[in-house]
Amino acid sequence: MHFNLAGFLFISAALAAPFAIGAHHPAKTVNMKPTMALNETTLGHAVVSNHCQLPLYLWSVGENISPQNVVQPGQNYSEVFRHDPKTGGVAIKITTVMDGLYTSAPQTVFAYNLVDNVVWYDLSDVFGDPFMGEFVSLLPSEPAIRWKEGVPPSGSQVRISEAMVDLVLTAC
């Protein structure tokens, strides 16, 4: 089994950055309700919506790697936000080729870190841009994450949201 340590460390660093001492936090704040206890029925979801003509292949990666999930055109993949006890964050790694996680195929990575009642999240590409020439968005987000040509812009794509909100990554 091949594990991409460099990609994992990159995502881990991006997810950990907002929590570093002295880190700059986004100007937009989220209404954090400290007395609110969230559970699986009140948590939002990380959703991948396939609007492409071909299937997408994805893995949910934390301490463990899920089996390959195949998302056919017109279908969605969804998982309830979760906190990984070992790594903290979760990375949903998406390729356009079967077994792409293990062959270093271009990947779009939808990473998130659930902390209390907020989700820090990020969208990035590694090993190339699997959706080059296609539209990619991750909404709702402020400022909006929209890649008109399927290629991430320079700069940070890290955002924060209330944990009750569904975040939808739309490809193509």
Cβ-contact 26, 159 below 8 angstroms: yes
- Residues 33-68: tens digit of each pLDDT: 333 445 556 899 999 999 999 999 999 999 999 999
Asked whether residue 161 is domain-assigned, the answer is yes
Q: What CATH number is attached to the domain comprising 132? A: 2.60.110.10
Q: What does pLDDT average to over the chain?
A: 82
Collect all residues with Cβ–Cβ distance below 8 Å to 106 and sequence separation of at least 6: 95, 96, 100, 125, 126, 127, 128, 129, 130
**In DSSP terms, which residues pair with 84 in a beta bridge?**
88
Asked whether residue 37 is domain-assigned, the answer is no
Q: How many structural domains comprise the chain?
A: 1
Asked whether residue 36 is domain-assigned, the answer is no
Asked whether residue 26 is domain-assigned, the answer is no
Which helix (H) or strand (E) segment is 74 a member of? none
Task: Give pLDDT tens digits along the chain (172 positions).
Answer: 333 333 433 444 444 444 333 333 333 333 333 334 455 568 999 999 999 999 999 999 999 999 999 999 999 999 999 999 899 899 999 999 999 999 999 999 999 999 989 999 999 999 999 999 999 999 999 899 999 999 999 877 899 999 999 999 999 9
Structural domain range at position 79: 5-20+43-171
> Is the pTM for the entire model greater than 0.85?
no
Asked whether residue 81 is domain-assigned, the answer is yes
